[in-house]
A = this chain, B = another copy of it.
Amino acid sequence: MTPELARLGHVALETPDLAGSLSFFADAVGFEEVERDGDTSYLRAVDEFQHHSIALTEAAESGVDHIGWQTADPESIPAFAERLESEGIEVTWVDAGEERGQGEAIRFSTPTGHEFEFYHEMEKPDPPEERRSKLRNKTYARTTTNPIAPRRIDHTQLWDPDAVEFAEWLQEDLGFGVQEYYDREDGSRWGTFLSACGNKIEAAVIDDEAEDTSPALHHTAYKVDTVDDLFEAHDAMNERGIPVDGIGQHSISRGKFLYVRDPVSGHRIEFNAGGYLVFDPTWEPVAWTETDLEDRQWIGQIESKARVEY
């Protein structure tokens, strides 16, 4: 069989101060804490139907434990394991429930050093009765959640000094498709924007131009409903004194953005509105070059290049 990924599922992040980071992730941003297990807090966005999309663990310092991808079916897990091992990649099996709410999984380092997890099953726990929506296709009633709470996980931006190699490996070994890419004036590739689900960018792979650097997570993006929501979120961050890294719209993906960072761990969340979806199986990657559009930000700008290594 040909193993297949279905979607970006979650990120597992490390923070030097769990309580401090929850002030950001839960209180300020509005993720729901679904479960606490020792030093790990499991968080879900308000319009997600699975157990968690963030696992946040207290550790010696900030870091990224893994990026979690859901497979299309249970059989894809061992099939991917076999393929990876045949390439000499060491695969670690993770028992069901070790990561709470999640079925059996594998973890491994990609050739350029990103930590990935593949899983298929994840619980769909009910929210408490008093917070549940009357709409059966919704989880929490919005009346009982933080008004700026983002809706669902959208994509990750991954920085890599060997970005071209990493992007090719994602396509060839994991079956990602390319939705867009951006080449510099000298012909070198700055970014490749890939999709596991086929409908939207889920991994933005960016050439890290810093020297002597390691692979890193620049941000994890969550969808919100409206552009007003970006301003509301910015406003809420200002009220709490949490620094923001800009508001505007990307050229690539057309996504409107707001970037904010957890002051404690440095992990960055993008509030993302708009963009577009691909349902056409004959989609051809959108090719950008620095000569036809110099501005990677169509509207507004981002003010920081900080990112967190694994």
CB distance from A51 to the nearest CB of B (A): 11
A168 near B: Cβ within 8 Å?
no
Question: Are B70 and A253 interface neighbours, CB within 8 A?
Answer: no
The chain B residue with its CB closest to the CB of A133 is: B239
A60 near B: Cβ within 8 Å?
no
| Residues A276 and B137 in contact in the complex (CB < 8 Å), given A226-B226, A248-B247 | yes
Question: Are A239 and B141 interface neighbours, CB within 8 A?
Answer: yes
Complex CA distance for A47 and B197, rounded to whole angstroms: 20
Question: Are B121 and A247 interface neighbours, CB within 8 A?
Answer: no
The chain B residue with its CB closest to the CB of A136 is: B286
A236-264: CB near B (< 8 Å → 1, else 0) gives: 10111000101111011110100000000
- Please indicate the chain B residues that have their CB under 8 angstroms from the CB of A238 in the complex: 134, 298-299
- Please indicate the chain B residues that have their CB under 8 angstroms from the CB of A180 in the complex: 137
CB distance from A291 to the nearest CB of B (A): 12
Stretch from A17-25, A31-39, A209-217, A277-285 at the B interface: A277-285
- Docked complex: A94-131 residues within 8 A CB-CB of B: 120-122, 124
The chain B residue with its CB closest to the CB of A50 is: B280
Complex CA distance for A147 and B240, rounded to whole angstroms: 17
Complex CA distance for A274 and B197, rounded to whole angstroms: 20
- Docked complex: A201-245 residues within 8 A CB-CB of B: 225-228, 231-232, 234-236, 238-240, 244
- Please indicate the chain B residues that have their CB under 8 angstroms from the CB of A225 in the complex: 228, 274
A271 near B: Cβ within 8 Å?
no
27 contacts between A and B (CB under 8 A): A6-B279, A6-B280, A7-B279, A120-B281, A124-B282, A134-B239, A135-B251, A137-B180, A137-B253, A137-B254, A142-B232, A142-B236, A143-B147, A143-B236, A143-B239, A152-B277, A197-B199, A197-B279, A199-B279, A227-B231, A234-B249, A235-B299, A238-B299, A244-B299, A247-B248, A277-B277, A300-B300
A-B complex: 6 closest residue pairs judged by Cβ atoms: A147-B147, A7-B279, A6-B281, A141-B239, A137-B286, A143-B236
Interface residues of A (CB under 8 A from B): 6-7, 47, 49-50, 70-73, 120-122, 124, 133-138, 141-143, 146-148, 152, 180, 197, 199, 225-228, 231-232, 234-236, 238-240, 244, 246-249, 251-254, 256, 274, 276-277, 279-284, 286-288, 292-293, 298-300
